[in-house]
């Protein structure tokens, strides 16, 4: 069944973000969310891209969604904490966190990303 999964690797996404490949990264995450809108990992990655684009309100709302889907999601919690501290205290020591799993199957599909 692995051939029917969308895999989004944290390392390739970090590379895309470092190379400012936000559009391609956004497409990968959007495809995963179309197939499985209940993936906290995909929501967290979408939120990271929203935050990088400066859409802080949208990022905060979506981090909240990721946490509602998985209440102890460490990356989403850290990212939400960073936004909260930044808005309430002017800065934060928390870094942007994509996730800790090197590869994550978000949904079964026959997508072009499989």
Residue 114 domain flag? no
Residue 50 domain flag? yes
- Predicted local distance difference test score (pLDDT) of residue 8: 61
CATH number for position 64:
1.25.40.10
- Domain ranges, residue 25: 2-108
- Mean pLDDT, all residues of the chain: 78
Residue 113 domain flag? no
| Residue 62 confidence class, pLDDT cut points 50, 70, 90 | confident
Q: What average pLDDT does the segment 66-78 reach?
A: 89
- Predicted local distance difference test score (pLDDT) of residue 65: 87
Q: What is the pTM of this model?
A: 0.75
Total domains in the chain come to 1
For 85, other C-beta atoms within 10 Å of its C-beta total 14
Residue 44 domain flag? yes
- Predicted local distance difference test score (pLDDT) of residue 5: 55
């Amino acid at each position: 069944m692995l051939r029917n999964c969308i895999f989004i690797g944290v390392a390739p996404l970090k590379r895309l973000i470092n190379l400012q490949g936000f559009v391609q990264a956004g497409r990968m995450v959007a495809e995963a969310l179309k197939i499985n809108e209940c993936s906290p990992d995909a929501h967290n990655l979408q939120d990271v891209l929203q935050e990088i684009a400066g859409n802080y309100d949208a990022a905060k709302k979506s981090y909240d969604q990721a946490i509602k889907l998985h209440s102890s999601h460490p990356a989403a919690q850290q990212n939400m904490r960073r936004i909260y501290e930044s808005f309430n205290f002017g800065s934060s020591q928390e870094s942007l966190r994509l996730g800790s799993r090197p590869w994550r199957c978000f949904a079964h599909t026959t997508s072009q990303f499989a």
